[in-house]
Structure 1
Amino acid sequence: MQQLTLLLFERMGLLLLITFILTRLPQFRYLLDRRMDWKTGVTFSLFFGLVSIGGTYSGVTVGPGGIDSSILAVSLDPGEAMADSALIGIVMAGLLGGVAVGTGAGILSGVHALWMGGMTGMAEVWSTPIIGLLAGLVARFFAEERVIAPVKALFISVFAPILQMGVILIVHESSPAAIEMVNIIGVPMVIANSIGVGVFVTMILAALREEERAAASETQRALHIAEMALPYLKQGLTFQTAEATAYILRRELRASAVAVTDTEEILAHVGIGTKRHVPGERIRTELSRKAIESGDIQIARVKEQIQPHHPSLGAAIIVPFRSGGQVAGLIKLYYQSVRQIRPVEEAFAKGLSKLISIQLDIAMAEQLRDLMKDAELKALQAQINPHFLFNTLNAIVTLIRVNPDAARRVTVQLGSYMRMNLTMTQSPLVPLYKELEHLHTYLGIVKIRFEEQLAITCVCDPGLESVSIPPSTLQPLVENSINHGLKGKTDRGEIRVELRRSGDVVIVTVDDNGSGFSAPLLDKLGDSPADGSESTGLGIYNVNRRLINLFGPAARLRLTNPPEGGARIAFTIPYQADERRETIDEGHDS
């Protein structure tokens, strides 16, 4: 028994060598991922059946004359049997492929055993399909595991030879010859087949871990390269950005040469053959055109496909990348020999293509969002309250008759106000001193209309002159207080504008002594233009939108009715001081 067990282990080494080669085949992943169809099932039933047959031929012949250690026995005499490792293939077929693959492999192995003859031939016709079926059923209990654990597989496979020995005894009705044969081959086959299955599974798991480590490494490398190249590609495909990208790719990929193109011409080529590939030269190779049209990676495996080619460049990977769903250009990775293009290079090229395409789409989305935000800001900034314009023009018409000098001053101030409004809307942010000049120009116009009925005070902490603020922010808030907060007030109206620094922010408040905001308006004013006769709310809404878009939700307007009466609008903007300082009056009364 000991001699037979050692012989089985020696012969099993050949089977495990085949297994090792098997785990390196890409097609083997279909079983591991359980992506089975009838074609795949038939293919792997045949494959594992052949593995089982190979295990039979590498077995040891046992007969009345003792053990025959010769290999590749073609047929067996009626009194002989084969102690082999054929059950490894059948058990693995069931564990990896399921019921159909396990049963199919078992039928093929059983038919071969019947053809060889011997004492166990008829018994194996029945036992091997049953073993494959049971292994497939057991695999369903471990469906959540990609590959069953080696210890579990070893334990399960112990029962396969035991079942086969039982069928042998049943077929031969427990004859003395059958009992003696089972005593000789039973234990060695249990040990050899169970350990073989455990080793088989261990090799598969090792191959998977190696593949996962390689995939993680390549993914990390692709991300690293994409991050370095993206800042240049985001600027657009120019000769300068393409050249910088090509240098990065050649250094990181250790390719013989790298070229970057758009859909029409070569933008950069670095490495071997640089003098032969001039930036601005039209794309001429058929594979490059095919890559642009199809959007698929192309591989040039012969020098004739690289035109104009360099004697030192024998192969290339042509990687298209997309922007906005359309192919935007190509990255060509040149190598001296086609042997340098391994499957890992092809997989990396596919990953790099997807990463760059995704990053370019994200960059385009960011640009579109910025453009939309900029367009929205300009539209909001360009809005002028028509009522203010109409009221000012009516005041000028009235003053022309009663006070021509005052009418002339108001006309000049209105012109200055309009000119400043147009100039300031060209930028999303302006220095605070310009915003205060704009406010003072507006107040100069308002003073003519309301004379002594209104007092406006503006207080600003020193050192805030160059703080950035959206243009036309203060004027609409003051205008809202005049037209709506003080509406219907019989005594003197007062408005106070304060700008105070508090740490890293500037707190801006606009207070009036009017009737305050109504309860319904407090909930929605600033978030949407209010309807009704109380207030249009458009000016406050526009200011709030611009503050949020430029500085975030923390800068939004806060509307309250203070306990002492009136209304208050407050907001904060970041404090960003520079060396520039200009004088602002600390107070202004009108």
Structure 2
Amino acid sequence: MKVLTMTLFERLGLLLVLAFLLTRIPGFRSLLDRELDVKTTGMHALIFGLFGIAGAQAGVVMEGETFFSSFWVFQVEEHQMLVGTSLVAIVIAGLLGGPVVGWGAGCIVSLYMFQLGGMGALANSLVHPLTGFLAGWTARFFSQERVIAPTKALFIGIFPPILQGALLLVFSSQPEKMIPFVDRIGLPLVLSNSVAIAIFTAMIRVALHEQEQEAASATRRALTIAEEALPYLKKESPMEMAADIAELLFKELQVAAVSVTDRMEVLAHRGLGDDHHHRGDPLTSPLLQRAIQKGEVTIASMREEIRCPHPCCPLEAAIIVPIVQSGEISGLIQLYFRKSQQLRAVEVALAHGLGKLISNQLNAVSAEKLRLLIRDAELRNLQAQINPHFLFNTLHLISTLIRVNPDLARKITVHLGNYMRYNLRLASASLVPLEQEWEHLDAYLEILRIRFADRLNLVCHMEDGVGQAMLPPSTIQPLVENSIQHGLKDATSGGKVEIETRKGKEGIRIIVRDNGCGFAADILEQVGKTPVPSEKGSGIGLYNVNQRLIGLLGAESQLQVCNRRSGGSEISFRIPDREAAEEGVG
């Protein structure tokens, strides 16, 4: 028994070498991921069936109390039995592939064992498909594990040899001879099969861990490259962007060469072959054109597919990655290799990931540029809607004063000219210093003082040291205009508007208050948030100001509107202290 046990363990070496090679088959992963269809089920049943036949042939031929081995057994005599580790492959097939794969592999080994003949041929034929089915059924209890643990596999591996011994006794025509035979082979088979199954599952777990580590490493590389590529993708010049991307990929991926192209020509090439792969070379290869048309990652595994005209080009293989921008193929990234053997699955997967990441980043950059252009156009449009409101009122005042007080009309015209000069200068910028906005406001207020000299008092106060704070142009003037047009519309005397700046910890607060009638209670909550129509206008003035403040300074700068207890209203907004905010973040 001891000699038989040692012999079977020695023969396990060959079986485990085959098992190691099996774990390196790319399609073997579908078993681990439970991604089985009819084709892959049949293929894996065949593979494990052949593996089981190899396990049987790695055993010995028992004859009475002796045994002998042969390179290959073609026929077993009636008084002989082939004793091996064929059940190992069947158990693994069931544990990984389920009942169908296990049963299929067992049937293949069963047919082979039956045609070999020998003592217990029927029992050996039945035990293999039955073991495969039972192992697959048992695996369902461990479905939460991708690969069963070796300790559990060691325990499960004890039962198939016991089942084999039981069937040998049940179907034997001479039980008195079979009982001592089963005693001799029982323990060696239990030990060798259970240990082999445990080692096999450990090999699979190691192979799976290596695969996961490689995939994780590829993912980290792809994310690192995508992050470093973002500043280059924002460049306006396609040539500069392509050169920087090619340099980055060549350094990080350590491939033979990298080319970046648009749809027509090479924009940049870095690495081997740069003596004849030049910027401006046309894309003549049918493989490149197919990648552009289909938008799929394409692999060139032969020099002929690359179609390089140079006779001594060192580049033999390539992965061609299309770059999608705004739903269309905008260019290609070509990763070159010296030998086709370097085209591993991890490189192809990495190329797929890089293509998607770079395409997504290009789309994000384009969307951001478009968003900024749209926002700038909207804000300028809002600004254009505000300025004519004051202009029409002033022109109407001048036309009225020309007959009754030409000197005063001339004075207002001068102030209006000053106001408009400031307005034209400020209209070209999205943000201006508060001191310039204050000068703009002064020109406006001078006109109002002349117009409402008898019934309106305008008071302004700006603290020292706040003049360089940035805000949208023409922001304060519409607030003052709103106080006069709506808050003080019925005031015949004693009207007052105050404009004040206050510097605090969170920034500069600008306040416009009046002693008029205030806002109606039913519209107070909507002021600045939605256009509120009124008798004297569309009610869009405050809404436009609020939109510009939020768009350019952030939500914390939106208008704050309230009615004063003493009468009138107060509208304020805040200019955030950007330097303090940045110091707080740092």
Q: TM-score, normalised by structure 2?
A: 0.93
Q: Structure 2: how far apart are the matches of 1:386 and 1:102?
A: 84
Answer yes or no: is the 8 Å Cα contact 1:478–1:510 preserved in 2: yes
Look up the SS of the partner of 2:522 in the other structure: helix
- Structure-2 residue corresponding to 1:425: 427
| Pairwise CA distance, 1:340 | 3.6
- Pick the aligned partner of 1:320 from 319, 322, 338: 322
Of stretches 559-568 and 474-483 in structure 1, the one that deviates more from structure 2 is: 559-568
The residue identity in structure 1 corresponding to 2:312 is P
Change (3 A) 1:127 1:336: closer
- Pick the aligned partner of 1:464 from 458, 466, 490: 466
| Pairwise CA distance, 1:542 | 1.3
1:404-443 superposed matches below 5 A: 404-443=406-445
1:179-578 superposed matches below 5 A: 179-236=179-236, 238-304=238-304, 305-309=306-310, 311-315=312-316, 316-384=318-386, 388-531=390-533, 533=535, 536-575=538-577
Look up the SS of the partner of 2:530 in the other structure: coil
CA deviation digits over 1:405-437, x for unaligned, max 9?
A: 222232343344344334323221111112112
| Pairwise CA distance, 1:259 | 2.2
* Structure 1 unpaired stretches of 5+: 578-590
Answer yes or no: is the 8 Å Cα contact 1:303–1:309 preserved in 2: no
Answer yes or no: is the 8 Å Cα contact 2:529–2:543 preserved in 1: yes
Q: Structure 2: how far apart are the matches of 1:28 and 1:177?
A: 43
Change (3 A) 1:562 1:120: farther
CA deviation digits over 1:174-223, x for unaligned, max 9?
A: 81122112111111111111111111111111111101111111221222
Of stretches 67-76 and 414-423 in structure 1, the one that deviates more from structure 2 is: 414-423
Q: Structure 2: how far apart are the matches of 1:380 and 1:173?
A: 101
1:570-589 superposed matches below 5 A: 570-575=572-577
CA deviation digits over 1:266-315, x for unaligned, max 9?
A: 22223333343443333333322222222223333444434343624232
| Pairwise CA distance, 1:86 | 0.9
Of stretches 364-373 and 330-339 in structure 1, the one that deviates more from structure 2 is: 330-339
Q: Structure 1: how far apart are the matches of 2:137 and 2:230?
A: 51
Change (3 A) 1:174 1:478: farther
The residue identity in structure 2 corresponding to 1:320 is P
| Pairwise CA distance, 1:133 | 1.3
CA deviation digits over 1:536-576, x for unaligned, max 9?
A: 44222112111212222212222223444332222211236
| Pairwise CA distance, 1:532 | 5.2
- Structure-1 residue corresponding to 2:27: 27
Answer yes or no: is the 8 Å Cα contact 1:527–1:544 preserved in 2: yes
Q: Structure 1: how far apart are the matches of 2:277 and 2:521?
A: 73
CA deviation digits over 1:232-273, x for unaligned, max 9?
A: 122145222222222222222333333222111222223333
Of stretches 238-247 and 275-284 in structure 1, the one that deviates more from structure 2 is: 275-284
Change (3 A) 1:8 1:236: farther
Answer yes or no: is the 8 Å Cα contact 1:435–1:471 preserved in 2: yes
Look up the SS of the partner of 2:142 in the other structure: coil
Change (3 A) 1:65 1:182: closer
The residue identity in structure 1 corresponding to 2:261 is T
Change (3 A) 1:368 1:94: same
Of stretches 482-491 and 504-513 in structure 1, the one that deviates more from structure 2 is: 482-491
| Pairwise CA distance, 1:392 | 2.5
CA deviation digits over 1:445-504, x for unaligned, max 9?
A: 222332221112221111222211011111111111111222323541212112222135
1:66-81 superposed matches below 5 A: 66-81=66-81
Q: Structure 2: how far apart are the matches of 1:303 and 1:430?
A: 61
- Structure-1 residue corresponding to 2:9: 9
The residue identity in structure 1 corresponding to 2:408 is A
Q: Structure 2: how far apart are the matches of 1:137 and 1:301?
A: 43
1:120-135 superposed matches below 5 A: 120-135=120-135
Change (3 A) 1:4 1:275: closer
1:134-153 superposed matches below 5 A: 134-153=134-153
Change (3 A) 1:374 1:387: closer
The residue identity in structure 1 corresponding to 2:380 is K
| Pairwise CA distance, 1:117 | 1.5
Answer yes or no: is the 8 Å Cα contact 1:301–1:314 preserved in 2: no
Of stretches 547-556 and 485-494 in structure 1, the one that deviates more from structure 2 is: 485-494
Q: State the number of aligned residues.
A: 578
Q: Structure 2: how far apart are the matches of 1:180 and 1:533?
A: 112
Change (3 A) 1:117 1:303: closer
* Structure 2 unpaired stretches of 5+: 580-586
Q: Structure 2: how far apart are the matches of 1:278 and 1:88?
A: 58
Q: Structure 2: how far apart are the matches of 1:173 and 1:512?
A: 115
Q: TM-score, normalised by structure 1?
A: 0.92
Answer yes or no: is the 8 Å Cα contact 2:431–2:472 preserved in 1: yes
Change (3 A) 1:65 1:137: closer
The residue identity in structure 2 corresponding to 1:470 is P
| Pairwise CA distance, 1:65 | 4.6
The residue identity in structure 2 corresponding to 1:113 is M
Change (3 A) 1:71 1:276: closer
Answer yes or no: is the 8 Å Cα contact 1:4–1:188 preserved in 2: yes
RMSD over equivalenced CA pairs, Å? 2.3
How much identity, in percent, do the aligned residues show? 47
Change (3 A) 1:256 1:131: closer
- Structure-2 residue corresponding to 1:36: 36
Q: Structure 1: how far apart are the matches of 2:381 and 2:150?
A: 68
Of stretches 301-310 and 81-90 in structure 1, the one that deviates more from structure 2 is: 301-310
| Pairwise CA distance, 1:91 | 1.0
Answer yes or no: is the 8 Å Cα contact 1:382–1:422 preserved in 2: no
Q: Structure 2: how far apart are the matches of 1:317 and 1:466?
A: 55
Change (3 A) 1:392 1:302: same
Change (3 A) 1:350 1:545: same
Answer yes or no: is the 8 Å Cα contact 2:533–2:540 preserved in 1: no
- Structure-2 residue corresponding to 1:580: none
